[in-house]
Homo-oligomer: A and B are copies of this chain.
Amino acid sequence: MHDSAGLLDLLRAVAEGRVAPALAAERLGPSVAEFPFATVDLDREARCGFPEVVFGQGKSPAETAAIAARIFAHSGRVLVTRASPPAFAAVQAAIPSAVYFERARVIRVGHRPEDGVGLVAVVSAGTADLPVSEEAALTAEALGANVDRITDVGVAGLHRILAATPRLRAAHAVVVCAGMEGALPSVVGGLVAAPVVAVPTSVGYGANFGGLAALLGMLNSCAANVATVNIDNGFGAGYQAALINRLAVGAGRPT
């Protein structure tokens, strides 16, 4: 976490008494909150501009709440994904201002819409893709982006997505969520010059194989401006799009 030139400078500063050893250790060392079941990265906000996001799946409600409360105490905001209703109940008991978005299974605390910058478009191919696209939209908002939601514009009725072209072109980054054959990101990729983050969803049946068909379709997109995240990973897509949006509005890197 340090380069050798910078390290030498710091060590010289210590040697010359300009920097106290403890301070140097703090600057060099990690800062984490230790639980018996988790090691929370508190440096993350300083390093990446946003606190660690809690992935709710596989954690008990009590564990989720304990971690969320610790991050909230440190940062004044927190985002929990894949949160069940019981997990929300536990978080709300610890942080009364927590808000739950049931379809997206997201808990969000400390979000300030008035701080939104730029524009991220979040597109979904069908109604059944909404849980994933909402996770993406809520995440992008939590990371400071304005979001335009464009819903149910799958490729079998092209005029729907064509009609949305101006809205798509107004965005700095576009998230596209689609299941079944996952063709929508390729079509959107051809309509805009901005980066497109594609999210395959597990919507479909049969040879969809839990989202595999859509995933392969997006990875093989003939549009060059498409990158892909994991199946149903609305969070990752919203995060990536918000990072790009932040760069585009000149708020890019924290330092």
A28 to B59, CA, bound (A): 36
- State whether A216 touches B207 (Cβ < 8 A): yes
Quick check: is A73 within 8 A (CB to CB) of the other chain? Answer: no
Q: Identify which of residues 217-255 in chain A touch chain B, using a CB-to-CB cut-off of 8 Å.
A: 217-233, 235-237, 239-240, 243-244, 247-248, 250, 252-255
A223's contact among B5, B39, B156, by CB below 8 Å, is which?
A: B156
Instruction: Please give me the residue from chain B that is nearest to A168 by CB atom.
Output: B3
Q: Identify which of residues 13-54 in chain A touch chain B, using a CB-to-CB cut-off of 8 Å.
A: 14-15, 17, 21-22, 24-25, 28-30, 32, 35-39, 41, 43-44, 47-49, 52-53
A217's contact among B1, B210, B216, B244, by CB below 8 Å, is which?
A: B216
> What 14 new A-B contacts, CB under 8 Å, besides A11-B24, A154-B222?
A30-B162, A48-B193, A53-B224, A55-B126, A155-B223, A183-B186, A197-B227, A205-B232, A207-B220, A207-B230, A208-B216, A213-B219, A224-B239, A247-B247
7 contacts between A and B (CB under 8 A): A58-B128, A58-B203, A197-B227, A216-B217, A227-B229, A227-B236, A247-B247
- Measured CB to CB, the residues of A under 8 A from B are 1-8, 11-12, 14-15, 17, 21-22, 24-25, 28-30, 32, 35-39, 41, 43-44, 47-49, 52-53, 55, 57-59, 63, 82, 125-130, 151-160, 162-167, 169, 172, 179-183, 186-187, 189-191, 193-195, 197, 200, 202-233, 235-237, 239-240, 243-244, 247-248, 250, 252-255
